[in-house]
Amino acid sequence: MIPPLNHRARWLWLALPLLALVIVLAASGAGASDDATPSKIYMPLVRVEPLPPQFDFTALVDLGDLTITDIANAGDERLFVATREGVVHIVYPNGSVAPEPFMDVRHLVQLGADGNENDFEQGFLGLVFHPDYPTNPYIYFAHTTPRTMTVTRVAVSPTNPNKVNNQTLQPLLFERKPDKDENGTPSAVHNAGDLTFGPDGYLYIPIGDGGPDPYDPWGVPGDPNNHAQRRDTLFGSILRIDVNPTRGIAADCGISGRYSIPRDNPWLGDDGCDELWAKGLRNPWRIAIDPLNGDMYMGDVGEWQREEVNYWPGTAGGGANFGWHCYEGTFNYAAFHNPTFPQVFRSCTPGLQFTAPVHEYSHSRGGCSVIGGPIYRGNRYPTLYGRYVFADWCTGEVWTMVRQGSQWQVDPAGDTVLQISTFGEDNSGGIYAGVFMDGTIYKVSVR
């Protein structure tokens, strides 16, 4: 008699005859010739792909009701946190803040061309340390003044590594902002201003088209001055310069003797600015360069229709045109507006070669401003390795992106309520995020 069985034991008892049959068939080599090696039973191998990384944001420190515009490192444990007002603070991994600012250049920075401090596209925009720091003790930063978009160099104090020496401030280049109305008020928008050094040792500088926006009094859509499709202006471009003033060609559209131009820049010797590396950008607020291969990722903020991520391989050389304002993403912007504003789009002639974005998303989903982040090359999170990180300022959504063969895979990484204004990295590749009008720095972790 079979004794009473619980649920699990009953299923085991019923499975025993089937298991015995499998053993007999394996031992007898069923289905094989008499002299064949006895058959083996193989379990099928199932490849399980790791789930895309999901982010958690943990507050590290709150600096007050400020907008964080950049988070940089100098190869040590310190984080250098810039605010749009023109103050850079030192933050340590435990969340403590140095008692004095590392840099205070509020006397240089203009928060609003027309006195409106809510004009949040102005101010201190980005900073980066010289790649040979501290041997070369220089920092480069982008900022707006009452009339210009400017890139300036400053040196760290030789006696105090936690302070810059304001006596060494030296502008490298600047571009006068266009007027936004008939009164001569300068446009405050589309400045971009992120700064990063590539593996080639050159400084890359994204600059937006300079505006003005269509909602300004003149009301002309797109890029009214056609800056992004012209090569006689620094606007609407990514610049590539050599911060060594004697190694390359003399500065063209910047200040002579302050830097030089790499000899393989794409448009040397034409009627435009030799500093240009790429064109056709509206407001590439944050860019990233992969330290392993020089691949460049650009989060270019759109106008009415699309937000876009542009990509350019490190092996491709310069000369790309990413399409603005002929295209907004893959949306044919010129054709849409041409009947009403034909004078703006005369440069969008058939046959121009544009580089399409590798990812775009519509404003119909609620998004409004793409915020580009880094390419993760740290060791802590294997599922994140090699992925590009980006977010949307309006929705708080965050994504990661990776190339799979000839295709790009984009995966949601979290849906926050944060108005993320920038990302940054520490010296081990750890990712941080700053927020608009909040002043909180968040450390990003993966679950």
Q: What is the pLDDT of residues 133-155, one digit of tens each?
A: 999 999 999 999 989 999 999 99
Each residue's pLDDT tens digit, 305-351: 999 999 999 999 999 999 999 999 999 988 888 777 776 777 787 77
Which are the contacts of 48, defined by CB distance < 8 A and separation ≥ 6?
Answer: none
Is residue 115 very low, low, confident or very high in pLDDT (cuts 50, 70, 90)? very low
Q: Is the pLDDT of residue 33 over 60?
A: no
Contact between 124 and 69 under an 8 Å Cβ cutoff? The reply is yes
Q: What are the angstrom distances between the C-alpha of 251 and each of 235, 242, 247, 258, 316? A: 16, 9, 11, 8, 23
User: Once rounded to an integer, what is the mean pLDDT over residues 172-185?
Assistant: 92
Q: Is the pLDDT of residue 117 over 70?
A: no
User: Once rounded to an integer, what is the mean pLDDT over residues 119-134?
Assistant: 93
Give the chain's mean pLDDT: 89
pLDDT at residue 40 in the model: 55
Each residue's pLDDT tens digit, 212-248: 988 777 677 889 899 999 999 999 999 999 999 999 9
Q: Is the pLDDT of residue 42 over 70?
A: no
Residue 273 phi/psi, 5° resolution? -85, 125
C-alpha Rg value of the chain to the nearest Å? 27
197 vs 40, more confident: 197
pLDDT at residue 9 in the model: 42
pLDDT at residue 3 in the model: 42
pLDDT at residue 46 in the model: 60
Q: Is the pLDDT of residue 12 over 80?
A: no
| DSSP-assigned states of every residue in 46-107 | ---PPPPP-EEEEEEEE--S--EEEEEE-SSS-EEEEETTSEEEEE-TTS-B-SS-SEE-TT
Whether residue 134 has a cis bond before it, omega within 30° of 0: yes
H or E element in which residue 8 lies: helix 7-28
Q: Is the pLDDT of residue 373 over 90?
A: yes
222 vs 362, more confident: 362
Angle at 174 between CA 232 and CA 259, to 5 degrees: 90
Residue 383 phi/psi, 5° resolution? -70, -15
